[in-house]
Amino acid sequence: MRFLELLWFSAYAELKAESARSYLGFLWWLLEPAMFMAVFWVVFGLVLGNRDPDFIPFLLVGLTFWQWLKSCITHGSHAIWLNIPLMRQVRLPVLLFPLTAVLSDTVKFAFIFAVLLVILWSLGHPPGWAYLALPLVFAVELLLGCAGALIAAAVVPFVPDIRFVIENAMMALMFLSGVVFSLASLPEPYAAWMAFNPVVGIIESARDILMRGQWPDWLLLAKAGIGSLVVLAFAVVLIMRLAPRYPKLAV
């Protein structure tokens, strides 16, 4: 209970401090992803000339859900590392730090998602009954985001060098998850391998619901959910195992 209170307040403090650091404050939560999406739209839509009218919603949904996951993991990767000085002064549950990162990124995602909805509606993709399945998609992605953040946070303090790898690994994962272009036309054996990537299930489910107005592929979503749970369980065991070692690390 007290842990949740502390988690909530530290996420609030983090968001507030972050928005106080720039002139436009929390507007950047929207502007930054908007700029990021615009780059992809220009490159893949305009320059490479994708004529499919559904390309823009396809891209926006993919990027919105991808960015949430990605920010949880990259932001989470620093979480324990940066807080080692704090952990040397007071006894705190180590999960606090990565979960704070996930929570504050989730709040930002909520804003971006609201904007995404408005854009989709104005592009002619109205809401439907399938929206009822959205919480499930959020839940699966949140599980996966927590899992990724915990693993990254657990490892970085021991091997800070890995931060450089994480950035690029995330980029690779983005292209392998059908965020920017569809993986439907992928030849075997690659298509079979994709079934193991939970991000594909999450993003495809979001597209089914938001663009195609249909229920998600339950089997695909269930696989993503189970996959995320397995990774999360591994992550929690890993971080609890390593927890006593963090206060001893030199920063």
Partner 1 sequence: MAAPLLRLDHVGVAYQGVRRIGSSGYWAVEDVSLELHEGETLGLIGRNGAGKSTLLRVIAGILRPDRGRIVQARPLRIQMLALGLGFVAHLSGRDNAIMSGMLLGMARREIEQRLPAIREYAELGDFFEQPLNCYSSGMVLRLGFSVAMQAEPDVLLIDEVLGVGDAEFMEKSGGDLRRRMRSGMTCVLVSHQDGTIAELCSSAAWLESGRLVAQGPVAKVMADYHAAAPRG
Q: Please report, as ranges, the residues that interact with partner 1 according to CB under 8 A.
A: 2, 5-6, 9-10, 13, 16-17, 20-21, 86-92, 244, 247-250
Give the end-to-end CA distance of the chain in Å, rounded to a whole number: 31
Q: Which is nearer to partner 1, 16 or 218 (CB)?
A: 16
The secondary structure element, H or E, covering residue 55 is helix 55-82
Residue 36, Cβ neighbours under 10 Å: how many?
12
Cis peptide before 189 (omega within 30 of 0): yes
* Minimum distance of partner 1 from residue 53's CB (angstroms): 44
Residue 17 vs 47, nearer CB to partner 1:
17
Cα-based angle 127, 202, 30 (whole degrees, multiple of 5): 65
Query: Smallest distance from the beta carbon of 174 to partner 1, in angstroms?
Result: 31
Closest to partner 1 by CB, 19 vs 182, is 19
Least separation, in Å, of the C-beta of 3 and partner 1?
Answer: 10
For residue 37, give the nearest of 14, 16, 56 by alpha carbon: 56
Closest distance to partner 1 from the beta carbon of 97 (Å) = 11
Cα–Cα distance for residue pair 44/38, rounded to 1 Å: 10
- Going from the C-alpha of 81 to that of each of 57, 144, 154, 169, 245, the distances in angstroms are 37, 21, 9, 19, 12
Residue 180, classified by CB atoms within 10 Å of its CB into exposed (0-12), middle (13-18) or buried (19+), is middle
Nearer to partner 1, 86 or 132 (CB): 86
Cβ proximity to partner 1, 119 vs 240, nearer residue:
240
> Is 92 or 119 the residue whose CB approaches partner 1 more closely?
92
Question: Among residues 16 and 127, whose Cβ is nearest to partner 1?
Answer: 16
Question: Could you tell me if 73 and 145 are in contact, meaning their C-beta atoms sit under 8 angstroms apart?
Answer: yes
**Least distance from partner 1 to the Cβ atom of residue 82, Å:** 12
Compute the least distance from the CB of residue 149 to partner 1, in Å: 20
Q: How far is the CB of 244 from partner 1 (least distance, A)?
A: 4
Q: Pick from 133, 108, 95, 121: which is nearest to 209 by CA?
A: 133
